[in-house]
Amino acid sequence: MTPILQTERLHKRFGGLAAVADVSIDIAAGEIHCLIGPNGAGKSTLFRLVTGTYPPTSGEVLFKGENVTQRKPYERVTRGMSIKLQVPSVFRELPVNQNLDIALQRKLPTAAVPRERARLLGLLQLEDEAHRPAGILSHGQQQWLEIGMALALEPSLLLLDEPTAGMSPQETERTGELIKRLNAQGMTVLVVEHDMTFVRQIALRVTVLHLGRVFAQGNIEQVIADPRVEEIYLGKGHVG
């Protein structure tokens, strides 16, 4: 079975700096895959190459077998990727309801929107906030709202960049459960994360990036047990 997402020898240079070098990874349909690595490892750059925010210097991105390297972000989204950015980016001045509507109307006829919106509000535990502007929600609630907007697009691949940044441990755990629940329903999820507790909670397979390259890849327990991985984390100061 072809992987849902493949990167083939991706390179991204900024001037003299190789932020991502020769990265080839496969994400299988139905898995939760975590990209980990110390700060500056190239995780966020790789994420942006996948979403199409940056064009790669060389290499290819294949989504469901199709080469999408030249596709703009919105074209990738219409093909079934859904993206949550690192900094929560919701429509701050619009009510929560409307934030969801704008995402939901991409897939649903107008008449079907309210029901699905209610379902999502329940899933995200945002019922009480439905009429409030998204900008006044707590950081964690904004993260959930953004995940909800990503889900509203009925994606086949959910891309999450540091979904738990700024969340309390309880919120983090709830986010992990939400992701696992979605995965159990068949969603493929790619997560960029440096909180190792959270990674342990959700992932089976991880890819470790270091200095822009794939440093290690495989089962989470094996990777963590690898002393070289511990070294790059400790060498840069322990993260998470």
The binding site for other proteins (CB under 8 A) comprises 14-15, 51, 72-74, 77-78, 83, 85, 89-95, 97-98, 101-103, 105-106, 110, 131-133, 135, 149, 153
Edge-first strand order for the sheet with 58-63 is 17-27, 5-14, 58-63, 66-67
Closest distance of CB 102 from other proteins, Å: 5
SS3 readout for 134-145 = HHHCCHHHHHHH
28, 193, 239 from 106: Cα distances, Å? 26, 28, 38
To other proteins, the closest distance from the beta carbon of 86 in angstroms equals: 12
Name the token pair of 95.
């009510």
DSSP secondary structure code for residue 5 in this structure: E
Question: Which C-beta is closer to other proteins: that of 85 or that of 206?
Answer: 85
For 175-190, letters b (16+ CB in 10 Å) and e give: bbebbeebbeeebbbb
Please report how close the Cβ of residue 105 comes to other proteins at its closest, in angstroms: 5
Least CB distance from residue 109 to other proteins, whole Å? 10
Q: Which is nearer to other proteins, 29 or 102 (by Cβ)?
A: 102
Residue whose CB is less far from other proteins, 20 or 153: 153
Q: Which helix (H) or strand (E) holds 225?
A: helix 220-225
Q: For other proteins, give the closer residue by CB, 81 or 203.
A: 81
